[in-house]
Amino acid sequence: MRSIGRSKSARRGAAAVEFAVVLPIFLTFLFGIIEFGRAIMVQQILINASREGNRTGIVENLDTAAITQVIQDYVQAAGLDSANVTVTPDPTTVESGTPIRVVVTVPYADVSWIAPQWLTGNFNLVGVSTMRKEAIF
* Amino acid identity, position 111: V
Three-class HEC string of 19-86? HHHHHHHHHHHHHHHHHHHHHHHHHHHHHHHHHHHHHHHHHHCCCHHHHHHHHHHHHHHCCCCCCEEE
**CA-to-CA distance for 34 and 14, rounded, in angstroms?**
30
Mean pLDDT of 16-34: 92
Entry pTM: 0.81
* Mean of all residue pLDDT scores within the chain: 87
Q: What is the pLDDT of residues 53-93, one digit of tens each?
A: 999 998 888 899 999 999 999 999 999 988 999 999 988 88
Position 7 scores a pLDDT of: 61
Mean pLDDT of 18-34: 93
